[in-house]
Amino acid sequence: MKAQVIKKFGDPSVFEMAKVHKPEAIPGHVVIHVKATSVNPIDTKVRSGVVSAIAPEFPAILHGDVAGVVVEVGDGVSEFKIGDEVFGCAGGVKGTDGALTEYMLADVQLLAIKPRNLTMAQAAALPLVTITAWESLYNRANIQNGQTVLIHGATGGVGHVAIQLAKVAGAKVYTTASSEEKLNIGQRLGADVTINYREQSVEEYVIEHTDGKGFDVVFDTVGGENLDRSFQAAATYGTVLSIAARSTHDLSPLHAKALSLHITFMILKIMNKEKRQEYGNILRKVTNLVEEGKLQPLVDERVFDFDQVNEAHTFLESNKAIGKIVLINKW
């Protein structure tokens, strides 16, 4: 079967077409005819070697997000049958198969039935970012009805989902973005208040929207200096969430305000077989939310196919995408 593989770390040009063996189902797993995948920042970091410790062995098939159809079922699997349409974040890291191929072997613990009201491409956009937002907001911060939640990056992969999940929990949601177009999308997704961070400083919008008290929960989906700004925006005894903390920071603001800091790195549970079931459980709830109209993916208008994976990675790294970048399997 066809696959896009990398045989070394590097820029997007390292992807190359290859013929690989079609996987066979093993106990606890299914084989999926891959219909779509999406690109996440972790995929570019694996490709480039920034996180080489979690990369699959060469020649490596990357990407965890997948949507497709079950074509073979392994022993002991009762959750799925041949013909089921499924989605999940099921690989692309050490010890797993990736989705940039015709057929993918996947642990059923990492999968759920695809929402009926989404296309394959839309479904493939959701798993990693939704699990990340869910783990951060619900499992780490335990957000509550009526809390003020500031979400950075309204139209980012994690940010656009976080807005919707925070609203489901009953929070008052504030979000930041760099343009009116992105702020309008954030509002459409459910944000109560939108903030153009290029026009207002942290101090200014904290005073305007919280009377200087700060936000109960601040979700930094950007990283770098934005994590410092998140410390500044948080209320005393507040919670800061981050998904991009491979950087050095002054932690004295945390001490001064007795803040809690939580880091989410969702890939770890994919690599820990004892934890994988948590993600399948989350995705089943996600399917319900999508079918109830409470959660929708934001997909960039530029869609790629598997032969254009290098272009898709280049586009993600340009920071010009709005929402998720998806790839359709036309093989």
Do residues 104 and 157 share a domain?
Answer: no
Do residues 259 and 143 share a domain?
Answer: yes
Q: Which residues of the chain have pLDDT under 50?
A: none
Domain end position, chosen among 263, 286, 302: 263
- Reported as a single tens digit per residue, the pLDDT across 253-299 is 999 999 999 999 999 999 999 999 999 999 999 999 999 999 999 99
Do residues 25 and 151 share a domain?
Answer: no
Domain end position, chosen among 237, 263, 289: 263
Domain end position, chosen among 231, 248, 263: 263
CB 166 within 8 A of CB 264: no
pLDDT at position 246 is: 85
Please give the Cα distance from 10 to 7 (Å, whole number): 10
Reported as type and span, the H/E element at residue 165 is helix 157-168
pLDDT at position 245 is: 86
Do residues 164 and 250 share a domain?
Answer: yes
Dmax over CA atoms of the chain, in Å, equals: 61
pLDDT at position 88 is: 98
- Reported as a single tens digit per residue, the pLDDT across 54-100 is 999 999 999 999 999 999 999 999 999 999 999 999 999 999 999 99
Domain total in the chain: 2
Closest to 175 (Cα-Cα) out of 133, 144, 135 = 133
Domain that holds residue 17: 2-125+269-328
Do residues 259 and 273 share a domain?
Answer: no
Do residues 232 and 279 share a domain?
Answer: no
* Polymer length of the chain: 331
> Which residue is it, tokens 């798993």?
127
CATH number of the domain residue 150 falls in: 3.40.50.720
pLDDT at position 227 is: 95
